[in-house]
Amino acid sequence: MNSKKRAAEKAVEYIQDGMIVGLGTGSTAYYAIEKIGERARSGLRIKAVASSKRSEELAKQFGVALVPIEEIDSIDITIDGADEVDNNNNLIKGGGGALLREKILASHSKRFVVIIDESKLVGKLGRFPVPVEIVPFASNLTLRHLRALDCEPRIRRDAENVYITDNGNMIADCFFDIIEDPEILSARMNSIPGVVENGLFSHTMVHAVIIGTENDTVKIKK
């Protein structure tokens, strides 16, 4: 079993009967959704909300019952991947383009459990570009504001075309070197008109990080 799958399957052990479960997006979250489906077929009764159209499709494929997000008040547990995790459990997310819905789910979750392999661990964030969801209107001007934060923003493309999120927006991938203070940077980014949300997730949201290692075990970082 690979490391991502090992982390995902460990996280799924936290799920109990009757819970509302947030489904993440990406290749690690895939294994979690697959495992939740397996447990559902063995009798686990849960309802799920998805952070992307892709994860919604996977849930249907694996037989995970979905509930419209408008019908819930809170989420018991969300299980999701990350692109980088620093020493304090701050995250960069959104490599899969789903950061806005992922952050909404995480912020309403009693437990937000992050599943990664060891390659995602860093001392300080910044090796991976910070994805920022921006509205298409005046995106050139929004990029100018982002550039003033000392990064090189690039509009994400999907082969030939500009990548469009599930919310009809664009992603600016912002290349920094080292991010010294993710909280301040996140606040600065979100104060720019035209920015919808950014991919920096505060450690204050994170309940646990489950790391699948190469040697058949998982480590849990709180």
Ligand X SMILES: O=C(CO)[C@H](O)[C@H](O)COP(=O)(O)O
| 213 marked as part of a ligand binding site | no
Binding mask 9-48 for ligand X (x = CB under 6 A): ---------------xxxxxx-------------------
Among residues 36, 50, 99, 192, the one that binds ligand X under rule CB under 6 A: 99
Residue 71 or 125: the one with the smaller Cβ distance to ligand X is: 125
CB of 9 to ligand X, least distance (A): 14
Q: Is 129 in the site for ligand X (CB under 6 A)?
A: no
Q: Is 126 in the site for ligand X (CB under 6 A)?
A: no
Q: Candidates 93-101, 140-148, 159-167, 182-190: pick the segment binding ligand X (CB under 6 A).
A: 93-101
| 25 marked as part of a ligand binding site | yes
Q: What is the DSSP string of the chain?
A: --HHHHHHHHHHTT--TT-EEEE--SHHHHHHHHHHHHHHHTT---EEEESSHHHHHHHHHHT--B--GGG-S-EEEEEE--SEE-TT--EE--TTS-HHHHHHHHHTEEEEEEEEEGGGB-SSS-SSPEEEEE-STTHHHHHHHHHTTT-EEEE-EETTEE---TTS-EEEEEE-S--S-HHHHHHHHHTSTTEEEESEE-GGG-SEEEEE-TTS-EEEE-
Query: Where along the sequence are the contacts to ligand X (CB under 6 A)?
Result: 24-29, 80-83, 93-99, 102
Which residues form the catalytic set?
102
Residues annotated within a binding site: 25-28, 80-83, 93-96, 120
